[in-house]
Amino acid sequence: MMGRPLFLILGAAVLLFAWNAAAQTSDSSCPLQFTVGEAKTYQFCNPLNALGATLSYIHHAENGSLDIAFKATPAASGGWVGWGINPNGLQMIGTQALIAFRLSNGSTVVDTYNVASKTAALNPSKISITVSSKSAVYESSSGKITIFASLALGSNQTSVNQVWQVGSSVSNLSPAIHTTSGANLRSLGTLNIKSGAASAPAGLSHQTLKNRHGIINVVSWGILMPIGIIIARYVKTFEVADPAWFYLHAICQSSAYVIGVSGWATGLKLGSYSKGVEQTSHRRIGIALFCLATLQVFALLLRPKKDHKFRVYWNVYHHSIGYSVIVLSIFNIFKGFDILVPEQKWKDAYIGVIIALGAIAVMLEIVTWIIYFQRKSRNSRKSSSEMNGYDQDQSHV
């Protein structure tokens, strides 16, 4: 009696395994079969973790060579696709690449490129990996380009650092630089050529670091800093809030600075992970923010008393730097959104926070002016009353 259920379980497992295998081999999104001249079946196929690309290949264990079929969609109709191996690490600079694109006559070509710089023009050149039988095919129905090639890696090679990209244009056989944000920064990883296992780099849990960098900076520079300024400008208007407003302001800004410094540090770490890719304006604004915020921290230590002759200059210094930090912070956060490309809901959520803080500031600004004119009117009446009392006293003299 126990044998029959066990037989059914084993049978179901075999059927499930066969179904999965059939699904894998027939999945057109990661093809194992190509027909170029003659049909060829590949040993492995990996859907790569960015840009909708796939890599199919055969590993010849006897000599360590690879037959590859890399398939991707160019970023534009006149664009290019590329795949390569970087012997030096998980980065763009140093990649020994195969890049394919269509010529004006409609033919599709592929050549080797040594990616030695992120700024210099990329021209066909010899690479350190021996490549043979390279060709490329364009699919008009899908707009995809597939690169075919054989690479000699050596029999002792077990894994490689793979890098792939897509670009939007080509000029005189020189591919234009690709987009330097979003998926284009995630298009690298390791490939175990014997087992077929592909993975993102340890640093690309560096994607987790990117997310933390974004969250930390939004909370510190983008939310706490504006709240601190709102407290300083508006809460102190209410006499009952003095001197509590000052301590709330100092705590809020100091917390924002400490958290922001950690976000700045994660940005430096991300820069070390992305050698050859530099978000120049975002980086420079971040450095400027760190310097200005540090000056604000020193402002607390250098704050003169209210009746000191230099207090007016300190106020100008403190207020101008504070507002500059807010403007630069919000601007740089949106540049960060463009680089990180998170789900739209996160960008919408931050926009909602900024609108809410802006609405609160507008309402408090109105309340502040109302209180100001009420106090001015009250002080005017008080002054008038005192003057009338003085005149009456004089009349008795």
Instruction: Residue 97: give its domain's CATH number.
Output: 2.60.40.1210
Looking at residue 295, its pLDDT comes to 87
- Cα-Cα-Cα-Cα dihedral of 288, 290, 294, 295, to 10°? 10
Residue 390 lies in a domain: no
Token pair listed for 23: 């699904």
Is it the case that residue 349 has pLDDT exceeding 80? yes
pLDDT value of residue 371: 87
Indicate whether 233 and 353 sit together in one domain: yes
Angle between helices 311-340 and 206-219 (to 10 degrees): 150
* Residues 49, 186 contacting (CB under 8 angstroms): yes
Q: How many domains does the chain have?
A: 2
- DSSP-based three-state secondary structure for 56: strand
For 153, list phi and psi in degrees, rounded to 5.
-105, -25
- Considering only 251-265, 275-289, 323-337, which range has the smallest mean pLDDT? 275-289
| Average pLDDT for the chain | 82
CA distances from 384 to 48, 186, 389, 390, 396 (A): 81, 72, 9, 10, 19
**∠ at Cα 64 (60, 67), nearest 5°?**
55
Over range 189-213, report the average pLDDT: 74
Mean pLDDT confidence for 36-58: 86
Residue 391 forms part of a structural domain: no
Within 10 A of 11 (CB to CB), how many other CB atoms are there? 10
163 and 246 belong to one structural domain:
no
| Residue 3 maps to a domain | no
Q: How far, in Å, are 165, 176, 309 from residue 303 at the CA level?
A: 53, 53, 12
> What pLDDT does residue 314 have?
85
Q: C-alpha angle with apex 62: 111 to 150, nearest 5 degrees?
A: 10
| Torsion angle, alpha carbons of 354, 358, 360, 362, to 10 | 180
Domain that holds residue 304: 206-376
302 against 18, higher pLDDT: 302
By mean pLDDT, which of 40-44, 172-176, 188-192, 238-242 is the weakest?
238-242
Q: Mean of the pLDDT values across residues 5-18?
A: 36
* CA–CA separation, 129 and 113 (whole Å): 11
Asked whether the predicted pLDDT for residue 3 surpasses 50, the reply is no
Torsion angles phi and psi, residue 45, rounded to 5? -140, 125
State yes or no: pLDDT of 274 exceeds 70. Answer: no
Residue 333 or residue 119, greater confidence: 333
- Co-location of 161 and 306 in the same domain: no
Res 196: pLDDT: 81
- Residue 388 forms part of a structural domain: no
Give yes or no: residues 75 and 179 share one domain.
Answer: yes
pTM of the model: 0.52
- Mean pLDDT on 279-290: 86
- Flag whether pLDDT at 31 surpasses 90: no
In terms of domains, do 263 and 370 share one?
yes
In a domain, 346, yes or no: yes
Q: How do residues 112-138 score in pLDDT, each as one tens digit?
A: 999 988 777 789 999 999 998 899 999
| pLDDT of the residue at 363 | 93
Q: What is the CATH number of the domain that holds 277?
A: 1.20.120.1770
pLDDT at 4 over 80: no
Q: Is residue 169 included in any domain, yes or no?
A: yes
Together in a domain, 273 and 362? yes
DSSP state of 73: -
The share of the chain scoring above pLDDT 90, in percent, equals: 36
Same domain, 132 and 212: no
- In terms of domains, do 85 and 111 share one? yes
Query: What is the mean predicted confidence (pLDDT) over 272-286?
Result: 72
Same domain as 261, residue 194:
no
- 201: confidence class by pLDDT, cuts 50, 70, 90: low
111 within 8 A of 124, measured Cβ to Cβ: yes
pLDDT band of residue 66 (cuts 50, 70, 90) is: very high
In terms of domains, do 189 and 211 share one?
A: no
Identify which has the larger pLDDT, 90 or 6.
90
Read off the pLDDT of residues 138-187 as tens digits, 9 standing for 90 and up.
Answer: 999 999 999 999 999 887 888 899 999 999 999 988 999 888 777 888 89
Please say if the pLDDT value at position 12 is more than 50.
no
Task: Point out the domain boundary residue: 176, 203, 230.
Answer: 203
Q: Which amino acid is at 187?
A: S
Q: Where are the alpha helices (DSSP H) in the chain?
A: 3-26, 206-219, 225-234, 244-273, 280-301, 311-340, 344-395
Least-confidence region, from 2-16, 254-268, 322-336, 363-377: 2-16
Task: Give residue 123's Cα distance to chain centre.
Answer: 29
How far is residue 270 from each of residues 4, 13, 76, 206, 236, measured CA to CA in Å? Answer: 57, 45, 28, 7, 40
Last residue in a domain, options 149, 183, 203: 203
More confident residue, 395 or 11: 395
Please say which residue of 203, 231, 256 terminates a domain. Answer: 203
Q: What residues pair up with 80 in beta bridges, in sequence order?
A: 101, 167
34-43, 103-112, 342-351: the lowest-pLDDT one: 34-43
246/357 same-domain check: yes
Q: What is the arithmetic mean of pLDDT over 320-341? A: 88
Asked if residue 223 and residue 76 are part of one domain, the reply reads no
